[in-house]
Amino acid sequence: MPRTLSRNWFAATVVRPPLVIMLILGTGLSGGCSNGEVQAADSDSAADTGTPFVIEPERRHLLTCSDADWQTLVDKILPSLAPQRLGPSGCLHAMRLLGTDLHATADDDSRDVEPTKLLDMFFHAERARAAFRVPLIFPSRYGIRYRRANPLYPVAGKMRESHQGQVFASLAEMGVPLDSPIRLKGTVYRVEDVLADAVAGFDFRGEIEWKCIAAMHYLADRGSWRNRYGEIFRFDDVADELIGRDISRASCGGTHLFHAINLLVRVDADRSVLSSAARDRARRHLEIHTRLALASQRSDGSWPHTWWRGQPDAAVTESDPEQIGSVLVTGHLAESLLYLPRDLSVEDDVLRRAGLWLLGRLREATPAECKAQLCPLTHAACVVRQLR
């Protein structure tokens, strides 16, 4: 049976047919591939239940951080769970750190907030608009979509995705099933309608890491998919595109690109989504960049923004404006190292030094820094959580 979410908002006047099923049937979305051949997915696969393929980070006990100390850090990083204060991206980061059972609290203007989980904000358009003060969910020709991080969809402040496709990829990483309902203007859509829109618009323009991550989780049992222009994509294409990207120009110091390739190798190890040649290319690329990360780690445990050069820069001081960039890169990179395949996992000392440096930065962070730098600090805290 598929996993379910809170169902207090399930009932609605209209139930929309699942668009992704129509898209699959109408465009020839094929089954899982093996050596370039298309095969039907197993009848008991995650694709049939609508549950995405979820990858968990490794847990190692390398840091000393008591429960009381941990709670103090969490309360400092997230003193409020008000959606208006956090924005959609902040809500996603909060759930990445503390799980999907978090409940929203009243915002800074002391308006009443209907008791609800933060996750429910992404499944109820009216509730999301009331919380974020701007629309978050929109119907499209092919399904529904979330407000995009795109100059064509301008919105002030942080009431949108930080990266294109971030919301859908985050839902995938959280394990949200495709049959989870989404209420929009009196109609019940489902997460599979978000997938239908994502498949229809799939391409390799702009930031692609998050759309590729969503595909890895939701389409791991499919060999190919076709967008609205009739272009067919396979995971071999995804691997080649990710490998061919210039990591020096990628966002967040290239750490998202590294993480996407890392996840693809992990998915392939379980579901064999790549041909043998593409598998070799992806693993080789991951191995090379893992070695570059190890070579570029500073003596204090942090990483520079240019970690992919394989050379450590000078350690940053507390007053150095480069420090926040180092927190961002070190948090993202250390977290991704915890997702590496077992045969590529790094030594304890690498993670211990990174964890100790991040723990120090979290303890030193001021309330103003926590408010302004929620993303890097929550990733730093995710590393500490996995190492304590």
User: What are the pLDDT digits (tens) for 61-82?
Assistant: 999 999 999 999 999 999 999 9
CATH topology classification for 20-32+46-387 = Glycosyltransferase (1.50.10)
Reading the block at residue 122, the tokens are: 């992404």
pLDDT for residue 18: 46
329 touches 307 (CB < 8 A): yes
pLDDT of 181 higher than 70: yes
> Distance of CA 191 to CAs 52, 165, 169, 288, 369, Å?
11, 14, 12, 36, 34
Which residue from 230, 120, 235 is spatially nearest to 180, judged by alpha carbons?
120
Integer Cα distance of 342 and 346 in angstroms: 9
Residue 44 identity: D
What mean pLDDT do residues 192-198 have? 97
308 closest CA partner among 327, 328, 286: 286
| Higher-pLDDT residue of 38, 363 | 363
Query: What is the structure's pLDDT at 323?
Result: 58
pLDDT top residue among 321 and 225: 225
Mean pLDDT across the stretch 39-64? 71
pLDDT tier, 208 (very low <50, low <70, confident <90, very high otherwise): very high
pLDDT of residue 164: 83
Cα separation values, 384 from 259, 284, 330, 346, 355, Å: 18, 29, 12, 16, 6
In this predicted structure, the answer to whether residue 36 has a pLDDT above a threshold of 70 is no
Does this model's pTM top 0.85? no
Residue-averaged pLDDT of the chain: 84
pLDDT tens-place string over residues 94-138: 999 999 999 998 765 545 556 689 999 999 999 999 888 889 999
Mean pLDDT computed over 328-356 = 97
| pLDDT exceeds 80 at position 330 | yes
Separation in Å, CA 137 to CA 16, 122, 146, 223, 345: 15, 8, 5, 29, 39
Percent of the chain predicted with pLDDT > 70: 79
Residue 9 has pLDDT above 70, yes or no: no
Tell me the mean pLDDT in the region 203-208: 94
Q: Pick 139 or 7 by higher pLDDT.
A: 139
Task: Say what the pLDDT of residue 62 is.
Answer: 98
Question: Of the ranges 15-29, 154-168, 282-296, which one carries the lowest mean pLDDT score?
Answer: 15-29
**pLDDT at residue 40 in the model:** 32
- Is residue 83 within 8 A of residue 131, CB to CB? The reply is yes
Residue 7 confidence (pLDDT)? 28
Q: Which comes out higher in pLDDT, residue 161 or 76?
A: 76
Alpha carbons within 13 angstroms on the beta-carbon side of residue 217 total 26
Query: Is pLDDT of 372 > 50?
Result: yes
- Give percent above pLDDT 90 in the chain: 71
Has residue 183 got a pLDDT over 90? yes
